[in-house]
Structure 1
């Protein structure tokens, strides 16, 4: 620090803080939110912290200062721990008559309350799904809207709650569903549902998880107007609920011996405790066959990937796509799987 100007000393001090926050956020997936609920908020900002540390690294590199080592070190730690935020490889796509296309989509009640000013959103969602023609569709925030016709799926299981407005989760399938049910989460409309689907001689279980929502407006203007202490406390409480919901789900999952695919809106990122626990030794299909940032939530300032499809080793991951269809506050994702030989 002896050769830095006063301004650069201030810049480096900020650099140290941001680097420390990034290191903390990389450790948090291994720590239960019940113990570190407030700190767990950092999970949501990992992509932002990576970007800022990259800017600091470039700044010190241009100036040929050894201070660049700090951000470079934490960026390397993050890369070797969790991989790159951005997948540079082109999407993997293998065509096969045995392929199974599975889509996950939080449809936000098909725009029932007109969050988006555009008319006919519900029919556009249905038309999109029909065009992409998934074999299995996992839906969060499903609502049996009068204009919704998904009859091109022969089989379905839905689990709805609410008195005046019915909503919940649903699984649609072109293959027979022989068993289905729900993993109930207490004191919330969120839950996990499952359907056992038969394709040929194989039976597979599809889980559809919707973990507790943050219940905040993720537009930056709204966040600025909310008391930061109250906001952090509320998010921390939500993350503790997500941990409890994850524990309930994992107890149920442990009893299943079928080939398995887990879909869902986790309301948390790939740098979170709940992501790490639910994924376990399953394959994240985006990491296996996707590209880009893989963002699944409409947040203006940096990409958030909070919707996932995991598959166990019984499946080969032959493709993955994130769609840029703005019919909800989430973007649909679809993976193409085949049963491994």
Structure 2
């Protein structure tokens, strides 16, 4: 391949990589460019490998492409050593898909019962659940009672809407620690997506925990994995993707302002509905640490649907907090999202010698 081709390919690679730094809310095509990032990373790695083996002088071009793409490699595949120090508390994040309440998702509500039992028995100190569903008149779906009151958890449940039967849909946070404050952040968007937070007392510290669910695509994945259906729906798919990309970019900007005004160190849990090669992800990463990157191992794929290899569920945390271990619970398959769980400790400031003496 010619030198011109390699230069052009490298320029394209760098432009695509830089697209994550400009909000799709300003220029929406950049959101689509970010979809090319993993493809370009892989192609540069393949070219570099071939040219090293064949000792081609052109290897400098894919080498630059790999080096500039290193941040994307590091958010894709991580290797962390297990830390021996004891964590202070554990946080669970889970998109429960309304506990499979819809009849087509299970027969006789078996998976619903199993999922609710699992969620209520999990021993995490803090549980953030998206697509939460509660029906106080149901012996199966009286979930605030079963996860909260019956298990001695304090909780904040913010319904997004209530149906004609009185059942509620929304976001919930359950905490073994005392909740001293709670709040709701209404996000801009076409859906009822929003964020909630609680301030909890952990020992001598106060911690703010956010639970968020960013704008959904509202895409039928069957239309993507089926080539015939994709051919008939690609225009609608494009408009849904475009709208979702722009809205989530605006939502994360809105949330970042709220995070910056927090008087306490924070942990952010949620379903981003966004890959880790996006403006949304890297905007959060610019201000917070990612628990998977710092405490996980492997790829951490969190979506349990027909579109494999997606990591869209995340936990982020402040610098004043330390993560020890992060795990994607891929054996818990009740929902179309795997739960994710991380162990944390609040850092202690070192005293100077005069204070110690």
Q: Which moved more, 1:171-180 or 1:296-305?
A: 296-305
Aligned-pair CA distance for 1:298: 2.7
Q: Following the alignment from structure 2 to structure 1, what is the Cα–Cα distance between the partners of residues 104 and 48?
A: 40
Aligned-pair CA distance for 1:227: 4.0
Does 2:198 align with 1:216? no
| Partners of 1:138 and 1:263 within 8 A in 2 | yes
Post-superposition Cα deviations, 1:141-194, rounded to whole Å, max 9, x if no partner, equal 111154242132521101112242521111011111111110012442100100
Q: Which residue of 2 aligns with 1:323?
A: 329
Aligned-pair CA distance for 1:250: 2.4
Tell me the TM-score normalized by structure 2: 0.81
Q: Following the alignment from structure 1 to structure 2, what is the Cα–Cα distance between the partners of residues 205 and 105?
A: 18
Q: Which residue of 2 aligns with 1:85?
A: 76
Rate the CA distance shift 1:299–1:42 in 2: closer, same or farther, 3 A: farther
Q: Which residue of 2 aligns with 1:167?
A: 169
Structure 1 residues 1-341: aligned runs within 5 Å? 1=1, 22-44=13-35, 46-59=37-50, 65-66=56-57, 68-80=59-71, 83=74, 85-90=76-81, 92-94=82-84, 96=86, 99-114=88-103, 116-117=105-106, 120-144=110-134, 146=138, 147=140, 148=143, 149-150=146-147, 151-164=150-163, 166-186=168-188, 187-219=190-222, 220-222=224-226, 224-298=230-304, 300=306, 302-324=308-330, 325-341=332-348
Aligned-pair CA distance for 1:44: 4.2
Q: Which moved more, 1:153-162 or 1:107-116?
A: 107-116
Rate the CA distance shift 1:102–1:34 in 2: closer, same or farther, 3 A: same
Tell me the TM-score normalized by structure 1: 0.85
Q: Following the alignment from structure 2 to structure 1, what is the Cα–Cα distance between the partners of residues 306 and 63?
A: 27
Aligned-pair CA distance for 1:101: 0.2
Does 1 or 2 have the higher relative contact order (CA < 8 Å, sep 6+)?
1
Unaligned runs of 5+ in 1: 4-11
Q: Compare the two structures and name the one with the higher helix fraction.
A: 2
Aligned-pair CA distance for 1:19: 6.3
Q: Following the alignment from structure 1 to structure 2, what is the Cα–Cα distance between the partners of residues 222 and 158?
A: 37
Q: How many residues align?
A: 330
Unaligned runs of 5+ in 2: 349-357
